[in-house]
Amino acid sequence: MMRTRITGCRILTPSQEIASGEVLIEGRKIRRVGPSAAPPAGGPEPDRLLDARGLIAVPGFIDVHVQGAGGSDVLDESFEGLSRISATCARFGVTGFLATTVYRGGDANRHLEVAAAACGRTLPGARLLGIHLEGPFIAAGKRGMIQPDCLSEVRESVLEEVLARCAGALRMMTVAPELPGALGLIARLREEGIVASFGHSQAGYEETRAGVAAGITHVTHLFNAMNGMHHRAPGPLPALWESPGVSAQLICDGVHVSPPMLRLAAALFGAERLVLITDGMQAMGLPEGRYLYRGLDYESRAGTTRYLDGTLIGTALGMSELIGRCRDTLDWPAAVVLRASAVNPARVLGIDLLTGSLEEGKDADLVLLDPQLGVRLTCVGGEVVYVAGAAPPG
């Protein structure tokens, strides 16, 4: 069993900050987290000793909303594409992610089968934790860039087809609760252990409350693709805020959500209920420039991707870059920002007893950051999958 000792680093755990500490890893698990200490006399020597002085050890980030990265997309229907997404995510400190995509009417859904088969397989970077489907049970008026053929009326036969295609890998589904039949669907998702997430919806206040009562526990990209607030037509946001069991994704690039609204979200929901996401697409990790996506030209500039007519597509920023923007915008301490990028998403997915924090007995999913929050090393299940400046594997 491989033993790795990381020494001299500042460590952020759920309960404390250790100014100069060490992490001992045995195999896939964290054996010890604590202040730096001399190894016990006669104890086994580590197989690998990492001097991390000047660096910060944090839990690996978990991104529950990634459509693509490294020039690939979940829709590419290839294990190689998912591998590129995995490796690119690891460059930005992500150790686990949900392959976020859509369901198409008819038989054009091989990408779901490929993603389901990749769950549990060894990838070159971040672990593929499951599938997040945006739709097909969403509102046409709030579909955003999701194409019309990826929408459906709520029908049990469609849900059964989705579940069959995903083969147990569906972990989250974005649903519009106002659609006829949606409340029963949400209850079914809850029974199946799938996170029902509010989003791409035209629901008002009461319809949103009904969705929460049926089993919604999460929100897809807060503010985006949903109605806004008005003092006589409150819309979904107050209903979500009033439901303490509901967590919410937030894109902290300053473009999808303006800085004042980011600060409002932080004030209302607090760090305990927010989950940072990239909503990343294929341009993540690529140089700025012009690219082709689904037959249309787009430009990637300053971390934002837009079609040539100016329509916003998504973000090209990695998680560590978004965390830096979040820290600067919200003026949160690093430990608080990291809670929203690791602890909270692990809790949303029900895997917080296994990962999401640096604690003895948990998976050795961790990241070493420099003081500017740049990723220097990413470790997934005890395996080093990324080292800054090193050649990519393979």
Catalytic center residues:
279
Q: Dig out the tokens for 231 from the structure.
A: 């003092």
In single-letter form, the type of residue at position 269 comes to: F
Distance CA 194, CA 188 (A): 9
**Could you tell me if 258 and 266 are in contact, meaning their C-beta atoms sit under 8 angstroms apart?**
no
Show the CA angle centred on residue 368, arms to residues 330 and 251, nearest 5°. 35
Distance CA 203, CA 220 (A): 14
In single-letter form, the type of residue at position 144 comes to: G
Distance CA 67, CA 84 (A): 12
Scan for tokens 């998976």, then name that residue: 363
Tell me 392's DSSP state.
Answer: P
**Could you tell me if 257 and 224 are in contact, meaning their C-beta atoms sit under 8 angstroms apart?**
yes
Beta strands (DSSP E) in 13-125 are 17-26, 29-35, 48-51, 56-59, 61-66, 68-69, 72-73, 94-101
Greatest alpha-carbon pair distance for the chain in Å reads 72
**Could you tell me if 287 and 297 are in contact, meaning their C-beta atoms sit under 8 angstroms apart?**
no
| Dihedral over Cα of 61, 63, 68, 73: its sign | positive
Q: Dig out the tokens for 303 from the structure.
A: 């971390």
